[in-house]
Amino acid sequence: MAHISDLIESDIDAYLLQHQHKSLLRFITCGSVDDGKSTLIGRLLYDSKMIFEDQMAALEADSKRIGTQGGEIDFALLVDGLAAEREQGITIDVAYRFFSTEKRKFIVADTPGHEQYTRNMVTGASTADLAIILVDARKGILTQTRRHSYLVSLIGIKKVVLAVNKMDLVGFDQTVFDTIVRDYRAFAAQVGLDDVTAIPISGLRGDNIASRSDQTPWFDGPVLIEHLENVPLDEEIRQQGPLRLPVQWVNRPDLDFRGFAGQIASGSVRPGDTIRVLPSGKQSKVARIVTYDGDLDLAVAGQSVTLTLEDEIDCSRGDIIASGNPPEVADQFETTIIWMAEEPLLPGRAYWLKIGAKLVSATVTEPKYKVNVNTLEHLAAKALTLNEIGVCNISLDQQIAFDPYKDNVDTGGFILIDRMTNATVGIGLIHFALRRSQNIHWQALDVNKTSRADLKGQKPAILWFTGLSGSGKSTIANLVEKQLYGMGRHTTTLDGDNVRHGLNRDLGFTDADRVENIRRVAEVSKLMVEAGLICLVSFISPFRSERQMARDLVEGAEFLEVFIDTPLAVAEARDVKGLYKKARSGDLKNFTGIDSPYEAPDAAEIHIDTTKTTPEQAADLIIQKLRDRGLIRDGWQGPEI
């Protein structure tokens, strides 16, 4: 729905053309609970004549039935659409609304004020150019005001409107307004918010929203709509920076055309410009700027285009086409991560990282610290939970091109994705590349995995035994290795208890420590495969994510998951080490199967049901499976044991 204009009746084509070419401002409203965010947006819609007659009738009826204004129009009901929001009089989810004026189009996100909905607020802020932070004139600066201001600054929003709301309830007292503005500017400077415009308003009554209020003759600044219509857009600022075009698609409709499509994140480009493709570093010149409506002589930030180059160089989805000061290239970074999932971030666990169109595997180290966003205090942390923010180092499985987030939000921001569920679990902001990532390079070796395996006359592999404590993993793995040794195969075994006596002796049994335990063992087992060995790994390894991470470290045929399937009751009845008894009595915490979960494999290559199979039979089945897959062949027999 667009702004009501006289052109609609006199020249609809001229109106549509005018509307099409209006600039678009995205902004959010945030602040503490009951500061009037939803009411303000409702008033903006009302004053810009964005409400149909039937909507107005429904609003009047709802205001009398469930409104909070004593029967008068409750503008918040235009935005708070969820039943739970209306019942509680609060905002829970992010609500997006569109409106326009003669000068500009707007998309506004009404974000929740409650702390437990921080991830919703961050989602709304991620695409905004400006933030309106509301403060109740009666209450002044609150904890949530500071919290949301910090988040706004963190996400990279540089322009803030401090809307001191409900001025009608304090008699439009200038002293109250000036005190709040002074206190807020002092805090804003601490979090890097320098561009703050303060406006005294009454969202309910409409003072200083669309027109200047007679109640504030002492205020000589712009009214809210006027400021929103004239504030410079981030897109206009981004056009002045160096060219950054993240490649979203390689367009190859036929043998004669090869173009690289994407939306320009910053800067501008013309035919003939010299560009560099990162991370490869290859250079070329722009031949054409192709669009659906024809070629362009100039393309700027915000436009989606296809570039063709003068040279046939390697450029793929996820690469960045750049000019001027090029992006950096690295695979290890310091980042800020905002965690958005119910399950905590576990250091050492592998996640997918998506930056632009690039998807890579990432591992987060233990957080350096987490931030108390209410006080800005840095707190020690071993993990991040829902809505927490922490500074962490992160390591990728390949190099990517990037800019620090403070310089470019498009090439410096990323999301983390759970590898098992494909759910977005966190968002991150890159600070800088770690220096150690620039000092470490792969060393080329003449003797490789294949040559080592050929010398031993075998194919290397990992046999990953997983199952509950007491299921028989170690017993069966031992029997399998004895058979392999007798066949002259070169093997090694990594057993959970044995490894914890040395390599992993510093780790406990929390979820985070279990993840790190498996990460280390997976890396060691990979080295054993590189040495040409058949490596038997016997670990509970309770989480699917870590078993998948271990699988991903080697080639597909080199990893076999062996599920030693024993019901909990049977494993507990065995209790060879007395661990279940300790766990049941409370003397042993975080014990798998009792007070820590075990995630059974979905599709293990080898499934051993120990209620129907003896350890010896299980070992024979596994050896036969190795034969079937061509990993071992009958031949020379080794020494008897």
Is 92's pLDDT higher than 50? Answer: no
- DSSP H or E stretch at residue 334: strand 328-339
The β-bridge partners of 393 are 334
List strand residue ranges (DSSP E) for 166-281, in order.
195-200, 244-246, 249-254, 257-263, 268-269, 274-278
DSSP, residue by residue, 454-511: HHHTS--EEEEEE--TTSSHHHHHHHHHHHHHHTT--EEEEEHHHHHTTTTTT--SSH
pLDDT at res. 586: 85
- pLDDT above 90 covers a percentage of the chain that reads 53
Q: Answer whether 234's CB lies under 8 Å from 302's CB.
A: no
Residue 154 in this model has a pLDDT that exceeds 70? yes
Rounded mean pLDDT of 476-498? 93
Residue 48 CA to residue 611 CA, distance in Å, equals: 72
- pLDDT above 70 covers a percentage of the chain that reads 85
pLDDT value, residue 443: 66
For residue range 533-586, list pLDDT tens digits in order: 999 999 999 999 999 999 999 998 999 999 999 999 998 888 878 888 888 888
CA dist 633 and 71 (Å) reads 85
Provide mean pLDDT across the span 34-50. 74
Which range among 297-301, 336-340, 453-457, 608-612 shows the weakest confidence by mean pLDDT? 453-457
Residue 76 CA to residue 66 CA, distance in Å, equals 11
Distances (CA, A) of 280 to 270, 274, 399, 403: 22, 15, 10, 16
Confidence at 84, pLDDT banded by 50, 70, 90: very low
Q: Note the pLDDT of residue 147.
A: 85
Q: What pLDDT is stored for residue 44 in this prediction?
A: 79
With bands split at pLDDT 50, 70 and 90, how would you rate the model's confidence at 66? low
Helix (H/G/I), strand (E/B), else coil: 193: coil
Asked if 3 contacts 79 with a C-beta cutoff of 8 angstroms, the reply is no
Contact (Cβ atoms closer than 8 angstroms) between residue 245 and residue 262: yes
Q: What is the pLDDT of residues 7-24, one digit of tens each?
A: 555 666 665 666 566 888
What's the rounded Cα separation, in Å, for the pair 466 and 541?
Answer: 6
Mean per-residue pLDDT, 298-323: 93
Between CA 337 and CA 352 the distance in angstroms is 14
Q: How far apart, in whole angstroms, are the C-alpha atoms of residue 408 and residue 246?
A: 12
The pair of three-digit structure tokens given for residue 488, joined into one six-digit string: 């002259």
Per-residue pLDDT for 81 more than 70? no
User: What domains can be seen in the chain, in order of their start residue?
Assistant: 7-233 (3.40.50.300), 241-322 (2.40.30.10), 328-439 (2.40.30.10), 449-628 (3.40.50.300)
Work out the average pLDDT over 109-116. Answer: 68
Please spell the DSSP secondary structure of 374-407, one letter per residue.
TTTEEE--SSB-TT-EEEEEEEEEEEEEE--TTT
User: What burial class does residue 476 get, using C-beta atoms within 10 Å of its C-beta: 0-12 exposed, 13-18 middle, 19+ buried?
Assistant: buried
| pLDDT the model gives residue 438 | 60
Mean pLDDT of 118-147: 86
Which of the 8 DSSP states describes residue 137? T
pLDDT tens profile 181-231: 999 999 999 999 999 999 999 988 889 998 899 999 999 999 999 999 999
Average pLDDT over residues 311-336: 92
Q: Which residues contact 320 (CB under 8 A, 6 or more apart)?
A: 244, 245, 246, 247, 277, 278, 327, 356, 401, 411
Predicted confidence band of residue 529 (pLDDT cuts 50, 70, 90):
very high
CB atoms within 10 A of CB 190: 12
Tokens 């030693």 -> residue: 564
Is 268 considered catalytic here? no
Average pLDDT in the 105-124 region? 75
Place of tokens 């000589």: 220
Instruction: Provide mean pLDDT across the span 494-517.
Output: 89
The whole-chain average pLDDT of the chain stands at: 85
Average pLDDT over residues 117-130: 80
**The pairing of beta strand 559-565 with beta strand 461-466:** parallel
Q: What is the pLDDT of residues 422-479, one digit of tens each?
A: 999 999 999 999 876 565 666 667 788 888 888 888 899 999 999 999 999 999 999 9
Average pLDDT of the residues in 71-93: 49
Instruction: Name the 3-class secondary structure at 321.
Output: strand
43 by DSSP, 3-state: which? helix
Helix H or strand E segment including 606: strand 606-609
Note the pLDDT of residue 13: 62
Report the distance separating Cα 562 and Cα 578, nearest Å.
25
Number of Cβ within 10 Å of residue 93's Cβ equals 17
Amino acid code (one letter) for 57: A
CB-based burial, 5-35: b 16+ in 10 Å, e otherwise = bebeeeeeeebeeebeebeebbbbbbbbbbb
Is 246 a residue whose pLDDT tops 70?
yes
Three-state DSSP class for residue 271: coil
**Range with lowest mean pLDDT among 90-99, 286-295, 326-335, 519-528:** 90-99
Cβ atoms of 387 and 339 within 8 Å: the answer is: yes
pLDDT at 203: 82
Residue 624 has pLDDT above 90, yes or no: yes
Closest of 79, 32, 43, 4 to residue 225, by C-alpha: 43
Query: Given 437, 541, 585, 596, which residue is catalytic?
Result: 541
- Predicted confidence at residue 639, as pLDDT, reads 41
Q: Report whether pLDDT(641) > 60.
A: no
Residue pLDDT, tens place only, 247-293: 999 999 888 899 999 999 999 999 999 999 999 899 999 999 999 88
Output the pLDDT for position 533: 93
pLDDT at 636: 45
Is the pLDDT at 71 greater than 50? The verdict is yes
pLDDT at 309: 95
